[in-house]
Amino acid sequence: MTPTRKRRLIVVSLVLVAVAIAAGLTALALQQNMTYLYSPSEVDAGHAPEGARFRLGGVVLEDSIARSTDSLKVDFVVTDRFHQMPVEYTGILPDLFREGQSIVATGAMQGDRFVATEVLAKHDETYMPKEVADAIDKAKDAHRVPGDTGG
């Protein structure tokens, strides 16, 4: 092997190693920043990551909203109609936020309650985010009795 070919092989090898390292670091960074959506049933089953941020999707339970009189803190319950998850949020809620409405909240578990940093609400009467509808359908399937037709 001539010295020129050897040098060229070393340079190509170094470039390939650098590209592989950059791709690995990019994939790792993207994976750490992803926030997955879970239903209250999935959180109760332990599928949500411990101490990590994730999105909680479901419906605001009727008669569960409690607003603080001296701050922007709001406590409410999100349900998928099988399990319920208490949520705490401090901030201004979307105009469309109300009981019986589907929401997606981003935050993390603190003890047995979900502390949200962001709350998103649906934009009309018939819309439910696909992720929330899928999470509720998964909860229904998990609680379906054998022989039930699902009606």
Residue 53 CB coordination number (10 Å):
15
Residue 56 to residue 83: CA distance in whole angstroms: 12
The answer to whether residue 151 is domain-embedded is no
pLDDT (0 to 100) of residue 92 = 92
7-55, pLDDT tens digit by residue? 999 999 999 999 999 998 888 877 666 668 899 999 988 888 778 889 9
The answer to whether residue 78 is domain-embedded is yes
Residue 120 to residue 95: CA distance in whole angstroms: 10
54-79, pLDDT tens digit by residue? 999 999 999 999 999 999 999 999 99
Residues 46, 26 share a domain: no
pLDDT (0 to 100) of residue 140 = 73
Which whole-number Å values give the CA distances from 62 to 28, 52, 102, 151, in the listed order?
40, 28, 12, 23
The model's confidence at residue 4, banded by pLDDT at 50, 70 and 90, is confident
Q: Is the pLDDT of residue 146 over 80?
A: no
Residues 27, 44 share a domain: no
Long-range pairs of 106-109 with CB within 8 A, sequence gap ≥ 24: 106/35, 106/53, 106/54, 106/55, 106/56, 107/53, 107/54, 107/56, 108/51, 108/52, 108/53, 108/54, 109/43, 109/48, 109/50, 109/51
**Mean pLDDT taken over the chain:** 84
Residues 111, 136 share a domain: yes
The answer to whether residue 149 is domain-embedded is no
Q: Is the pLDDT of residue 97 over 70?
A: yes
Host domain of residue 15: 1-34
